[in-house]
């Protein structure tokens, strides 16, 4: 027995369906691409952070693939030249990241993101207990200069507003006119003790959120639901039929 498919699309619902369906498919595909990128990022982080530690205060040469490599620095903090990156949170509490220049034994300068402090402890004079004036060693992860997001303002050094860590801008503002000042990267200090001290450094085993698969499934599911609604509408209006001949 043969069947004849009859379909007469209604103009405006069809325009809405096609436009919306394409957008939903595009969003789903974009999330799949983000999923692949995030998986590669996680794999790269795990590989880099588990490599042998680099004694940065002894080495003047570092390979090209250095982001997330663990490093050890020995030298002194320049506490009077710290800057504060605004808009940072710790367990839901608003605060700042304290970024301090560090003079290493080999004469090179590097910025160290020491970690998070609350508004009450933003200024160095309010947390003298956290200032390390003698020579010390820091263990951290190398990070490339931060890129400003779409909704993140530009840094305003003269007004005391810093939103991203850009070594070139911080060096210029602090007037550290040294060729040995490293601008290619900065260092995120790692927590070294179970007891949490200010500033609060990052955990070595960070949790990188990866929910792009669920987002992709959501967008593709909405596209399927939209198609079902579109076809059901035409069926109820008599515009979609499968007739037996």
Domain range summary for the chain, segments of one domain joined by + = 3-43+210-244, 52-189
Structure tokens, 167: 């070594």
Q: What is the pLDDT of residue 6?
A: 78
Burial environment of residue 159 by CB neighbours within 10 A (0 to 12, 13 to 18, 19 or more): exposed
Identify whether the C-beta of residue 144 lies closer than 8 Å to the C-beta of residue 166: no
What is the sign of the dihedral through the CA atoms of 66, 70, 74 and 77? positive
Identify whether the C-beta of residue 146 lies closer than 8 Å to the C-beta of residue 166: yes
Q: What is the pLDDT of residue 167?
A: 96
Tell the residue number behind the tokens 């939209």, with chain if given.
226
First to last CA, the chain: 7
pLDDT of residue 78 exceeding 90: yes
Q: What is the pLDDT of residue 5?
A: 75
Q: Which residues lie closer than 8 Å to 125 by C-beta, 6 or more apart?
A: none
Torsion of CA 38, 43, 46, 47, to 10 degrees: -140
- CA dist., res. 221 & res. 119, Å (int): 44
- More confident: 81 or 203: 81
Maximum Cα interatomic distance, the chain, rounded to a whole number of Å: 93
Structure tokens, 184: 């290619």
pLDDT of residue 192 exceeding 80: no
Q: What is the pLDDT of residue 1?
A: 55
Neighbours of 165 (CB within 10 A): 21
Tell the residue number behind the tokens 């070294």, with chain if given.
192
User: Residue 216 — very low, low, confident or very high, per pLDDT cuts 50/70/90?
Assistant: very high
Which pTM was predicted?
0.77
Identify whether the C-beta of residue 89 lies closer than 8 Å to the C-beta of residue 173: no
């Amino acid at each position: 027995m043969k069947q004849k498919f009859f379909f007469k699309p209604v103009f405006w619902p069809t325009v809405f369906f096609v436009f919306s369906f394409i957008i939903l498919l595009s969003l789903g595909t974009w999330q799949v691409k983000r999923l692949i990128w995030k998986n590669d990022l996680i794999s790269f982080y795990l590989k880099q952070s588990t490599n042998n530690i680099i004694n940065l205060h002894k080495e003047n040469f570092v390979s090209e693939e250095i982001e997330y490599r663990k490093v050890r620095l020995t030298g002194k903090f320049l506490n009077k030249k710290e800057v504060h990156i605004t808009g940072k949170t710790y367990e839901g509490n608003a605060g700042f990241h304290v970024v301090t220049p560090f003079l290493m034994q080999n004469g090179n300068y590097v910025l160290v993101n020491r970690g998070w402090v609350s508004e009450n402890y933003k200024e160095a004079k309010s947390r003298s207990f956290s200032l390390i004036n003698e020579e010390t060693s820091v263990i951290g992860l190398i990070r490339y200069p931060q890129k400003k997001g779409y909704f993140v303002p530009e840094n305003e050094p003269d007004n005391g507003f810093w939103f991203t860590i850009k070594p070139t801008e911080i060096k210029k503002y602090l007037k550290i006119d040294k060729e040995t000042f490293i601008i290619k990267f900065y260092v995120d200090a790692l927590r070294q003790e179970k007891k949490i001290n200010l500033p609060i450094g990052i955990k070595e085993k960070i949790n990188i959120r990866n929910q792009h698969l669920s987002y992709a499934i959501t967008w593709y599911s909405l596209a399927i639901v939209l198609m079902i609604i579109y076809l059901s509408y035409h069926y109820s209006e008599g515009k979609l039929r499968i007739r037996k001949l």
